[in-house]
Amino acid sequence: MTISKIRIANFKSFADQTVELNDFNLLVGANASGKSNFVQAFQFLRDIAAHGLEDAISLQGGVEHLRNVKIGDTQPLIFHVAVEADAMWWSSEGRRYRIHAFDYEFRLQFDKKGRGYTVVRDRVILTYWREDLTPEDTGQPAITAEQGAKYATESTVEFKSADGRLEILSTSPESEPLFSPDEIEFLTSTVNRSLSKKSLLLESPFAHFFAESIWDWVREIGVYDFDPRKAKRVVPVAGRSELETDGSNLAIVLRNLLSDESVKRSVRNLCWDNLPYVKSLGVEQVADRFIFFTLREEFADDKDLPASLISDGTANIIALVVALFFQKQKRFAIFEEPERHLHPKVISGLMKLFKEVSEWRQLLAATHNPGMVKHAGLENILLISRDKNGFSRITKPADSEHVKIFLENDLGVEDLFTDNLLGV
């Protein structure tokens, strides 16, 4: 699954912005242009899926820090996400359907006074087809499930929450309904018991009927903003097995990974591409309560260096390798300034890793480093800047004829970025 498009309005520094995303996306812009605000849009979605709307707003600091300070309560906050999905649904009659598109939009209207809000729009549209068509269904000779898809009628079903009540609108042919009448009655009665004017459909049992895999995907969006100094610390032996946003539990994650010999070799080989002097990684325990990771260099193959003695750049690369290749449950991973503390030559190798991983996992990296821009590929670059009213705007330099002319005249894309010409 991948997010193909996202629209955000009246959110932090954005007035109204729609962005089409690729498998790999490099978000570039000057300081205070809004890069972190765009990243926080995905964090907000993730927090809604994980904790519910009310807590997600609270984690942003409340509505006053969620909405744009200039627009305020005069316009609704809008989130509209289009997902290319790959989920299955089995009807009560045993028919099998493939959901291949998931379109979700919600709008919040803020109260004129105080911190209140109301959900004024909450809509899900699923696009699907029946996958288990038989020769009798199609009038064709024996076919595979994949071939049968082209004979299926593409259908949609729309779910709306109106004043805290679920409505279901279907455009499917009568012969191919996604839900039976009994299922619709059960779904509406169950969901309506938990809906309110301040909650969303996907907080309700609604998601568990058919969109659980999609919503789980949103819940598992990974956001990483590594602090190498925290990654190198001695940490308590008890902690989360998933890599933290700042990398502070890197030693715990490495302990689990390095316990498997094949994974241990993979970690070492991936690190070796950018750290050729590294012979091995390890984890040591102190006083039965604390652990830290170690590194052995080829120059001293009988001595392990504690993490506290290695460079910040080395720790950052190790954390990036772990996040990219060994946190696969995070199907969409976002990295804030992954090039920190890295030599320019290493950045080119890092970009190769990003492009490799993006073949099976959607990635977004935010940076203002020309080296990242140089190796990203023009088609993958998103340029963010402030307009004359102070709102953040995101454009694609690949769509600019002026940029194409500059590149045809032997100017590098990194030079255009440095000279502030990518947005012309």
pLDDT tens-place string over residues 352-363: 999 999 999 999
Q: Residue holding tokens 């506290």?
A: 308
Residue 312's pLDDT band, with cuts at 50, 70 and 90, is very high
Residue 131 has pLDDT above 50, yes or no: yes
User: Is a pLDDT exceeding 90 seen at residue 250?
Assistant: yes
CA distance 404 to 396: 12
Per-residue confidence (pLDDT) for residue 211, from 0 to 100: 60
Among 138-142, 223-227, 331-335, 368-372, the least confident range: 138-142
For 236-249, letters b (16+ CB in 10 Å) and e give eeeeeeebbebbbb
Nearest 5 degrees, angle CA 198-CA 203-CA 204?
100
> What's the pTM?
0.89
* pLDDT at residue 333 tops 50: yes
In Å, what is the CA distance from 101 to each residue of 88, 94, 154, 164, 182? Answer: 11, 21, 11, 25, 25
Distance CA 36, CA 59 (A): 15
Is residue 66 within 8 Å of 11, Cβ to Cβ? yes
State the pLDDT at residue 411.
78
What pLDDT score was predicted for residue 171?
Answer: 65
Residue 306 pairs in a beta bridge with 294
Residue 179, both tokens:
């839900």
Closest CA to 79 of 108, 115, 43: 108
Terminal alpha carbon distance of the chain: 33
* Residue 104 CA from chain centroid, whole number: 15
DSSP per residue over 15-78, as a string? EEEEEE--SEEEEE--TTSSHHHHHHHHHHHHHHHHH-HHHHHHHTTSHHHHS-TTTGGGS-EE
Beta-carbon contacts of 245 under 8 Å, excluding residues fewer than 6 positions away, are 223, 224, 225
Mean pLDDT of 289-312: 90
Residue where the block lists tokens 């709008």:
107
pLDDT on residue 141: 46
Q: Determine the pLDDT at residue 135.
A: 47
What pLDDT is attached to residue 172? 62
In the numeric block, the tokens 């392990």 are attached to 304
pLDDT on residue 151: 45
- The three-class DSSP label of residue 368 is coil
| Residues making up the chain, counted from first to last | 424
Which pLDDT does position 191 carry in this prediction? 76
Q: CA-to-CA distance for 80 and 76, rounded, in angstroms?
A: 12
Amino acid in position 120: V
Residue with tokens 């899900």: 124
Helices (H) and strands (E) in the chain, counts: 16, 17
Question: Which of 92-96, 137-141, 412-416 has the lowest average pLDDT?
Answer: 137-141
Residue 208 has pLDDT above 70, yes or no: no
Identity of the residue numbered 114: G
| Token reading at 201 | 């459909």
Q: What is the mean pLDDT of residues 138-157?
A: 54
What tokens were used for 12?
């932090």
- Measured CA to CA, the distance from residue 240 to residue 286 in angstroms comes to 18
DSSP string over 254-316: HHHHHTSHHHHHHHHHHHHTT-TTEEEEEEEEETTTEEEEEEEEGGGTT-EEEGGGS-HHHHH
Nearest to 25 by CA among 362, 385, 386: 362
Bridge partners, 160 (sequence order): 123, 167
Residues 6+ apart with CB under 8 A from 71: 10, 15
* Residue 66 pLDDT exceeds 80: yes
In this model, does residue 381 exceed pLDDT 60?
A: yes
Q: Please say whether the beta carbons of 221 and 332 come within 8 A.
A: yes
Predicted confidence at residue 138, as pLDDT, reads 47
Mean residue pLDDT across the chain: 86
Q: Is the pLDDT of residue 162 over 80?
A: no
pLDDT greater than 90 at residue 282: yes
Residue 421, pLDDT score: 80
Q: Please state which of the ranges 253-262, 325-334, 403-412 shows the lowest mean pLDDT.
A: 403-412
403 — pLDDT class (breaks 50, 70, 90): confident
Above 50 in pLDDT, residue 247?
A: yes
> What number is the average pLDDT over the span 113-140?
74
Query: Which alpha helices (DSSP H) does 90-227 contain, by range?
Result: 135-138, 145-148, 181-192, 206-210, 212-219
pLDDT(251) > 50: yes
**Using an 8 Å Cβ cutoff, are 53 and 198 in contact?**
yes
* pLDDT of amino acid 133: 56
Please compute the mean of the pLDDT values over residues 323-341 and round it to a whole number. Answer: 93
CB atoms within 10 A of CB 260: 11
